[in-house]
Structure 1
Amino acid sequence: MMYKIIKSLTKLTVLVTLFSTPLTAQQKYQSATIGFYNLENLFDTEASVGYIDGTLEYTNPNYHVSIAADQVSKYDTVSFKERYTYENIQGKKIIRPLILQDEYSATGKKVWTEARYNQKLKNLAHVISQLGKDQTQSAPVIVGLCEIENRKVVEDLINQPTLKPYNYGIAHFNSFDARGVDVALIYQKDRFRVTETKPHVIEIFNDDGNRTYTRDILQVTGLLDGEEITFLVNHWPSRSGGEKASMPKRAKAAEVMKGIFDDIRAKNPNAKIMAMGDFNDDPVSPSIKKIMGAKGDKDKVKDSDIYNIMEPMYKKGMGTLAYRDSWNLFDQILTTGNMVETKKEYKSYKIYKSDIFSPAYTVTPEGQYKGYPFRMYGGDTYYANGYSDHFAVYTVLLREAK
């Protein structure tokens, strides 16, 4: 949203209310909310499999798509028992089975009907539309998403009445994750012009040499109101089996993401990068603090550093998900140090305000999990007013209008 030159006392009041730090009243400012939201198993109601066309480049959106399970016979495919890698699949057309398909169906344990699917889309779209709105009076320009089944569910999401007016585009690639869940990025096409998209594979192997499949890191580079920024969307391996035992998997994910930062900045030391995601680790975990080297004190961050927007919140006891009455802050946004503004000048897009989005309607109102994020399913029990087991996070960027 662009703030116009103040011409009345009313508009002056709005500007003073909006900005908690002194800014020049005669100057126009632009703002853009950047958000991230774990949607917790946003599946459609159709049983699907993954169809991979290895005759295409892996960056082609048609390289790996979801198709209806009952349509497999219509595709010319070969049997495939090797590891899923771009090299092994090259030149082959294969079908990849997915789990959770039976569970998320009308006859499955979740009794996942069209009505329930549409209710979840409506609920999630409302949350997304509100991210940063108290600051910008608009829906977010960029939102990273995770736990989405395929591109179709994202298309259904952005076509909800609360989001459709904002003309969102989609960046998405199917990953080799065993559940069939991926990450994606939605963006307002009127304000963000994509120049490059690609997935970065995280290859993790068990002690027996078998590969554990997880989500790729999605890279989307583009021009936000004419200013180049790269966004990285993540969903790192879970803590299944215990935090310590699973730590090496997230360490590998951190190494891949740190490599992306390094590669981009080797080509352009002034590049702006924003990494967001469900890292399944807290801001003080080794993957974030040691491998990524992320810092949480903005007054000590240099342009060449990586800044963790969420670390100060974590140290205040804030979180985005709860487990056994303990809070974690797995959903985080990390940026290059050159996006931190300490002089209150905002000559280019810099971080202005960040927060965890947890209004009362997204919080479980009663019962054993009172105070936790309000899920649509507690086990197999359905709650029509539920959302996700994670709160969304966001940051508002600000700059002087060009």
Structure 2
Amino acid sequence: MTVPFRRTGRCLWPPSTARLGRPGAPSNRAYLRDRLIALPLLCVLAFASLSWAYGQVRGDAERVRGELAPALVDLADARASVRIAQQEAQSSLRGGAAAELAGLGEVYRKRISRATLALGRVARGGALDVGQQQELQVVSALLDDYGTWVEQAEGHAADPVLRDAELMYAWTMLCSAPPPDPARPTPAGTFPRCSVAGRAPAGADASTIVDRITGLEGELGARLAARAGWGTPVVGAAAVAAVAFVLLALGLWRTLRFLRLRFRVSVCLPLALMGVVLLLVPLPVADAVLVRRALHQVAGSASALAERTSPAVEAAEARDPFGTPPRDSVRGRSTAIGHQLSAGQLPPLDDARHLILPAGLLCATAAALTLYAFRREYVLVSRPGAGS
């Protein structure tokens, strides 16, 4: 039973060339056979593990950049827009006779259209699962009904009782907090609380438009935070790759030394090129670390996007759309997320994850063919009568 374990140990941890020729050390033929088995297998294991782990990291970054981050930005924009629209509707329609002429105003219509477009982009973006898609459809339907009640209030602008009742019902569709007192107008630039105790109900308790949007933001934010972590499978694959690369580098160096001492081969070009490929391995590793750090920063920005953006900031930002956006505005947080994702990668390695496994297979093939040629030549030369 000790022979297979000893042979496996020689494959994984080759003896030093200084021990070759000593009692108990493997022969040249056995050493070449062990290297012929070990080097290709270690190449495949190391590069396959690295390719999978690096592909997972890059895939998470693409998922965040292409789906999760845009969806969170659009949801925050829709949440703020509907609240600004509600405030504009209340301010416009309580002007008495003047409201019949002015109507709801341009700001209301722009904000409702903006919220509708943002929710449509979220639905088409691919970030939502089936249950979340159904929840978003409910939000869109509620938003249509909300607009219908506000338009009815516009038609009854001259009747304070009917107008306020319709605006109040529209408010209950939008927010879970009690509606503001119609007799006490909200000061300009401020927005009444929309959720009970300042926190949106979650899950089945979420029934209003803003609460449902906030719930979707929380679910997508949690998914983004999960993708920002390393994860047990990725860490396990990275550990396997690290051990395999250490053994591969050690075995390659000792094999080259063996060929130089025993076969007088100064440079074995295929194996030397394998060493050059191994020197490039730290590049995707460094890129993976940068990507994970960027995703961690994006998770923090996404949390701030859901918690700190407010209709008051958005209304102030809309008055100067060409200036520098405030840090806590939707546009400001979206810009920060874009910068974080762009800075957290090495652009030359965008397609490297598709080349890692082919490079490993090529190295394994080169090692196998090279060592097979050396072993075949050694066996032929060492046979009795080969020189005759």
Q: TM-score, normalised by structure 1?
A: 0.22
Determine which structure has greater relative contact order: mean sequence separation of CA pairs < 8 Å that are 6+ residues apart, divided by chain length.
2
Q: Which has the larger radius of gyration?
A: 2
Q: TM-score, normalised by structure 2?
A: 0.23
